[in-house]
Structure 1
């Protein structure tokens, strides 16, 4: 009864659900992401619900070991909205805490190191938001380190290209 009841679901849930295609290999649906972004901007009072629903959806994907959600987390981190960045970081940290049975040969964390490092240097005009973004950046870096240290097959987090971003970001917040 999925098709007949979808009209009864809240609009924000339908918009979030439409981002994800039937086949995870197809990637996220960009046009539907733009619709959700527009809806979020025009109804900011719904941001908490949207973020919570995205978080639930990502958590389910984490539990089911669907890793296409990392693309969703990446898109949320690219947002300029501090709440979405914080929720994306929380999702990534939950992912980082999962111990996987099989290593991932293909996963790269360059984007996450760069983005979380940039968040550590946030100069957002609102001090509470700035502090929240910086804390999320630190937590994200911690998650990247935790995830990569435990897996010998992924890139070496201790290489200069990563440490040149991580160390200054942490020192900046001390």
Structure 2
């Protein structure tokens, strides 16, 4: 069974987001081993300088490194400049990872400052959910839904229409 990690910077603050994440986590149990890893978000002043922002990204990158450097992991950086996939394309990519010997797929969601260039360069895939901008908490739930949909597509269920 493939392992799916959501390596995220920051926590889900509102109960309704946590409830939604818990629901998709429950739905995914028959298909994968899901772990949601919430890393500490760097604390910055309201109007950080470029230097402060760069330092924050570097600190967050060090936390992310512990997960993406593991053997057998396919790393997906969720970032605005990434390419887009259809739901079927994501299902195919997850299946391809399993077929190619990857035991884990890490989806990396950065903070509101994004993901460091170093982490993006180490990722196997840069993926964007849309050209639109979404709050990080909503993006996490949307990604969980798409992962669930991917497994439904792969298993030919009625969930995906």
> Which structure is richer in relative contact order (CA contacts within 8 A, separation 6 or more)?
2
Quick check: TM above 0.5?
Answer: no
**Rg larger for:** 1
Report the structure, 1 or 2, having the larger strand content.
Answer: 2
TM-score (norm 1): 0.27
